[in-house]
Amino acid sequence: MANAGSNCSPQESQNTVPPLLSFFGSMPSEPCVSGQQLVTDQRLCQSKSHQDSVLSALNQQRKDGLLCDVTLVAGDQKFHAHKAVLAACSDYFRAMFSLCMVESEADEVTLQGVTSVGLKHALDFAYTGQIMLEPGVIQDVLSAGSHLQLLELLSLCSHYLVQELNSVNYLDLYRVADLFHLPALEEAVVSFLVEHLCELQQSRQEEVLLLPYRLLREVLKSDRLTSLNEEEIWQLVVCWLEHDCRYQYTEDLIQHVRYGLMDVAALHHVAQCHPLVQSSATAAALVDEALEYHRATYAQPLRQTAHTKPRFQSLTLYIAGGRKREVSRVRELRYFNPAAQETVRVAGCSNWSELAPMPAGRSHHCVAVMGHFLFVAGGEVEHSTGRTCAVRTACRYDPRGNRWTEIASMKACREHFVLGALGQYLYAVGGRNELRQVLPTVERYCPKRNKWTFVQSFDRSLSCHAGCVADDLLWVSGGVTNTAQYQNRLMVYDPEQNQWLARSPMLQRRVYHVMAVARRQLYVLGGNDLDYNNDRILVRHIDSYDIDMDQWTRCTFSLLTGQNESGVAVHDDRIYVVGGYSIWTNEPLACIQVLDVSTEGKEEVFYGPTLPFASNGIATCFLPAPYFTCPNLQTLQVPHHRIGPV
């Protein structure tokens, strides 16, 4: 029977089925189709607003005194709350309400050691996740957060105080960090002091002498303490110890001065004249160790300790030598000096600072780093007659003092060769000599003896190859033989066995290319090969070699432009291909291409900073950014320079 007032017949009424019901079946009295036959996928459906709306409703209930099951008392004020919410936010309340304590059954709980202001803000945070902090309440909030074990609230307070850190309040904030166990704030104060210690010494010296022992110790330990030189750091330690006669800390604090970084004359003065050294066996031993370090000039890279390690803000890109378009060979040593390291991704204006030049200009030489020293060997130089030829000379740069030192010359003149630092030795592999003969020989440099000796040679002559060190082995790829045969071989030298072993060959021949290691993969980049007409062709493909699998793979990414005779350096899983030569334009290049392999599956190639001049045969590496001031330290503003794909 139809409903009164309805204009539909019984049949029509049955066909007017709500949409949701029609999706799953007919009227309940009829056989219905199972929902499992129509909807087969299972997925999590989540409301984005549910958590916030529930928390907001609970907060409103708290304000209205609705469904609250506990009253908290602080000072002369009472606050309604829900035990479940408090226990979810705080281990303190979770223990109070769930471990059969007296308070678990009480309707009213009095909290000792918490002010009403602190508790009000703590409850606001517990119910909203937000808090309004200001100088007038921060002490109460910290006390409440610490007492009630609201860790997220303490973290927010710490972040707030870090933002307020300055030269006036840093000492007070350190005491707050120590009192409430705020490690992030404590680290921020240490970092602030490390960065600003020099200016604080000049403007607030008395306050610096009041630094707590533990804070001063952390500052002295920092590698980033570059605002003072080591002599000034020594003087700071002495003054602090003498202030209020704090000599009980002598043995600990003096160990954090890096005596090996001090000038020899200053060391002698300290050793002979300072009563602290004469009265402390530890100090005397450290000064003697530093003097011995300075006496063993050539062995210094092997004698690196905590007292000789350079203090530096970061590692940065260095470039040495090369061949300019208008000048045959250059002596310059420069380092990339960006306002921020992130600007390495910007192929625009770049800052290059000039350091002490090499003893002689050279190109197509090699560099290697050992113990934060830069070694330069071989290469091609121009004589006064205008003739160019390979040389055997070598030298070493110390970024601690911006100084060059001549070291023993190689047994053979070499250019277009490979130099690698492996263990306690440098290895020079192949290359061309002064007669432009291709060499099969390999020699090893011992810094301790300042001497080169021959080791196992190649099975053939080789030059214009590439090499790198990985897994305590020296790897060499490609190159050209004395019969002008381009190579695709990959060879590895084992210093323990003094022998060369063959590995899987590259996917194609390469000469004038570079090779580098990142994430246990060898990468070969750039260079050229020969086509079927025996003409040189640029190689933009990038190939990678799996050290563990002994297998080559062609990467899906390529260089943006071909580069030959380039320098190469690696830092933070980024490979920098620096400068070089274009066989299409017959011109040197000023571009730097960066291969970023830091994230698997998201590898990319992009243009980095621009060189101060177009150059091929340039050598490059990463070293600590210098922090000294020297007369010839200049910053060069380099205009935008970019070469499109070739």
The reported pLDDT for the residue numbered 343 is 52
Check whether 553 has a pLDDT greater than 60. yes
* Bridge partners, 620 (sequence order): 319
CA 101 to chain centre: 50
Q: Residues 613-627: what's their mean pLDDT?
A: 91
What would the pLDDT profile of 146-167 be if each residue is shown by its tens digit? Answer: 999 999 999 999 999 999 999 9
HSE (side-chain half, CA atoms, 13 Å) at 594: 19
What would the pLDDT profile of 72-85 be if each residue is shown by its tens digit? Answer: 999 999 999 999 99
Name the token pair of 238.
């002495």
Smallest CA-to-CA distance from 260 within 304, 315, 198 is with 304
The reported pLDDT for the residue numbered 344 is 56
Check whether 391 has a pLDDT greater than 60. yes
Question: In CATH, what number does 203-302 get?
Answer: 1.25.40.420
Q: Which of 540-544, 560-564, 634-638 is predicted with the least confidence, judged by mean pLDDT?
A: 634-638
Model pTM above 0.85: no
The reported pLDDT for the residue numbered 127 is 93
The reported pLDDT for the residue numbered 52 is 86
pLDDT-derived band of residue 200, with 50, 70 and 90 as boundaries? very high
Of all residues in the chain, what percent carry a pLDDT higher than 70?
A: 88
Check whether 337 has a pLDDT greater than 50. yes
Domain spans in the chain, listed from the N-terminal domain onward: 64-164, 203-302, 315-638
Q: Which of 12-26, 181-195, 382-396 has the highest mean pLDDT?
A: 181-195
Check whether 504 has a pLDDT greater than 60. yes
- CA distances 551 to 507, 509, 520, Å, are 10, 16, 12
pLDDT-derived band of residue 22, with 50, 70 and 90 as boundaries? very low
Question: In CATH, what number does 315-638 get?
Answer: 2.120.10.80
Mean residue pLDDT of the chain comes to 89
The reported pLDDT for the residue numbered 627 is 66
Q: Decide which of 542 and 632 is more confident.
A: 542
Q: Residues 382-392: what's their mean pLDDT?
A: 85
pLDDT-derived band of residue 2, with 50, 70 and 90 as boundaries? very low
Contact 409, 390 (CB under 8 A): no
Q: Where are the beta strands (DSSP E) in 337-450?
A: 350-354, 366-370, 373-377, 380-382, 388-390, 394-398, 403-407, 418-422, 425-429, 442-446
Look-up: residue for tokens 């009095």?
A: 110
SS3 annotation, 179-212: HHCCHHHHHHHHHHHHHHHHHHHHHCHHHHCCCC
The CATH architecture assigned to 64-164 reads 2-Layer Sandwich (3.30)
Reported as type and span, the H/E element at residue 644 is none
The reported pLDDT for the residue numbered 29 is 52
Q: Is 63 exposed, middle or buried (0-12, 13-18, 19+ CB in 10 A)?
A: exposed
Check whether 506 has a pLDDT greater than 90. yes
What would the pLDDT profile of 57-74 be if each residue is shown by its tens digit? Answer: 888 888 888 999 899 999
Those residues with Cβ within 8 angstroms of residue 356's Cβ, 6 or more apart along the chain or in another chain: 333, 397, 402, 403, 404, 630, 632
Check whether 328 has a pLDDT greater than 80. no
Check whether 199 has a pLDDT greater than 80. yes
Check whether 442 has a pLDDT greater than 80. yes
Q: Is the dihedral of CA 387, 388, 390, 392 positive or negative?
A: positive
Check whether 111 has a pLDDT greater than 60. yes
